[in-house]
Amino acid sequence: MADYRQMWNDLGMDLESHDVLCNVLPVAFGDVYLSQENRPAAMDFWDMVVADVHGIRPAELIEAQKNGQKVFGTFCVYVPDEVVIAANGIVTGLCGGSDFWVPAGEAVLPKGTCPLIKASVGARLSKTCPFFRIADMYIGETTCDGKKKAWEILGKDVPMYIMDMPQMKREKDIVKWTEEIKDFSKMIQEFTGNEITPEKLAEAIKTINAKRAAMERVYNARKDKNIPISGKDALLMTQIAFFDDPVRCAQMCNRLADELEERNKNGISVFPAGTKRIMVSGTPMAIPNWKLHHIIETVGGAVVCEETCTGTRYFEGQVDETKTTLDEQYRAIAERYMGINCACFTPNTGRIDDIIRLAKEYQVDGVIDVNLKFCCLYDTEGYTVEEALKKEGIPVLGIETDYSDADAEQLRTRIEAFIEMLG
């Protein structure tokens, strides 16, 4: 591993605390990932990225900043990357997925806040994540109440721009979201000093569509009766996609998809025949939250699909590439993003339809509907999710968890019993 201490120091990071995090992460990664057998060779890229997760990409971002590019940190799949890229900006995900950051978040937020928000705020305030130090501006959004209030606290420490999300999906809401994207675009152009032209936006739309298509190819390979990649590895690919350069991300995902499609042809599976196929639905799993996948895949199950924002909600649906004026392009972007079914919308019947569709497409034996503790949106929607799955005769287990290991044994027992019941 290269020595990035000077870079972290220049970013104003707390090196002592950061050392503690750097000591835990490789052990966790080794236990969860490197212990797997017959992994696709193309996973070597993601292994390399994780091995230097606070080094390689941060160094690239700093280099880009030196060349005049601006870095925007985001927390939600609703923020349209296309607009930032069209202005020669860079997007990086900022959601925190480690229990390590929760105490620093709890120092300023109520304990009854979801761990994703606590970890994200904690990562900034504890000065232990380079991505949170590098971003020139954070982009928040008005999705859930916890996030809305967290932006006010983060905004005291770093420049923040908030996108006002509609809460319904009527025509007038799509019109409103289109206008919001236009305002966002105006701000991005002013902040970067770069004008967005229809040509540049068309190019950016193609870039992000290509990234989505590549990720979808990997997911499609998981629909095969022989499962060519573990859920843990697929999750890692998606988690890193939030941080990586989109062109390289597409290249690496396509390289992985090539290998998985070859495995499909040759009937190669990373799980023994008869392993129960599980879909995980619900709240996102930010890196390095691998807890649930690891439990499922060490008690006899295989995760074949994630109906989450670190899964299908991130890449499904393309922006229409045929539009040629900025007005039409912004509308096309708005339509694509309004197709994402987050539980912050009401009604949210599209998500229920998606879950049933995905359960069938991926031929799942059962669904584990997961809720991050204190996420009232997904918790409440879990009732409707379970009701719809039961109606379809698809077994479902609802669970609530956080980032700590305190409930790991209890979860293991419940999930093992659920998988045995499927057999």
Per CB under 6 A, the list member of 21, 332, 342, 396 interacting with ligand BJ8 is 342
243 binds ligand BJ8 (CB under 6 A): no
Residue 335 Cα to chain centre, angstroms? 20
Other CB atoms closer than 10 Å to residue 417's CB: what's the count?
Answer: 11
Whole-number minimum distance, CB 372 to ligand BJ8, in Å?
5
Within 272-412, strands assigned E span: 276-282, 301-307, 366-372, 396-401
Q: Do 123 and 132 meet the contact criterion of CB atoms below 8 Å apart?
A: yes
Q: Please select the residue that binds ligand BJ8; options are 18, 54, 147, 294, rule is CB under 6 A.
A: 147
**Judged by CB, which is closer to ligand BJ8: 55, or 80?**
80
- Binds ligand BJ8 by CB under 6 A, chosen from 84, 114, 119, 256: 114
The β-bridge partners of 277 are 302
Q: Taking the complex as a whole, how short is the minimal distance between the CB of residue 209 and ligand BJ8, in angstroms? A: 19
Shortest approach of ligand BJ8 to residue 181 CB, angstroms?
A: 15
* Closer by beta carbon to ligand BJ8, 33 or else 242: 242
Closer to ligand BJ8 by Cβ: residue 114 or 137: 114
- Considering only the stretches 31-39, 73-81, 266-274, 393-401, report the one whose residues sit in contact with ligand BJ8 under the rule CB under 6 A: 73-81
What residue type is 208 in one-letter code? I
Q: By CB under 6 A, is residue 90 in contact with ligand BJ8? A: no
User: Contact between 140 and ligand BJ8 (CB under 6 A)?
Assistant: no
Host H or E run for residue 390: helix 376-391
Chain positions 4 to 63 lying near ligand BJ8, rule: CB under 6 A, are: none
Residue 74 touches ligand BJ8, criterion: CB under 6 A: no
Q: How far is the CB of 286 from ligand BJ8 (least distance, A)?
A: 8
Q: Which stretch binds ligand BJ8 (CB under 6 A): 44-52, 142-150, 193-201, 228-236?
A: 142-150
Stretch of 22-30, 138-146, 174-182, 254-262 lying at the interface with ligand BJ8 (CB under 6 A): 138-146
Cα 272 to Cα 62, 227, 259, 284, 300, distances in angstroms: 45, 9, 19, 28, 9
Q: Does 143 bind ligand BJ8 (CB under 6 A)?
A: yes
Structural element, H or E, at residue 90? strand 90-93
Q: Hey, what amino acid is at 231?
A: G
**Among all chains, which residue has been given the structure tokens 């006010």?**
152
> Does residue 291 bind ligand BJ8 (CB under 6 A)?
no
292 forms part of the interface with ligand BJ8 (CB under 6 A): no
Q: How far apart are CA 312 and CA 299, in angstroms?
A: 24
DSSP alpha helices (H): ranges in 31-114?
A: 44-51, 56-66, 81-86, 102-106
Shortest distance in whole angstroms from residue 177 CB to ligand BJ8: 13
- Is residue 144 close enough to count as binding ligand BJ8 by CB under 6 A? yes
Sequence-distant (6+) residues with CB within 8 A of 48 are: 56
C-beta of 283 vs 289, nearer to ligand BJ8: 283
Region 358-397 residues binding ligand BJ8, contact defined as CB under 6 A: 372, 375, 377-378
Contact 221, 257 (CB under 8 A): yes
Contact status: 283 vs ligand BJ8 (CB under 6 A)? yes
d(C-alpha 304, C-alpha 364), whole Å: 8
Buried b (16+ CB within 10 A) or exposed e, 126-142: bbbbbbbbbbbbbbbbb
Residue 403 in the binding site for ligand BJ8 (CB under 6 A): no
Q: Are 100 and 204 in contact (CB under 8 A)?
A: no
Distance, CA of 291 to CA of 203 (rounded, Å): 37
Our finding on whether 279 is near ligand BJ8 (CB under 6 A) is: no
Q: Segment near ligand BJ8 (CB under 6 A), from 7-15, 71-79, 212-220, 265-273?
A: 71-79
Q: State yes or no: residue 117 binds ligand BJ8 (CB under 6 A).
A: yes
Binding site for ligand BJ8 (CB under 6 A): 76-78, 114, 116-117, 143-144, 146-147, 283-284, 309, 340, 342, 344, 372, 375, 377-378
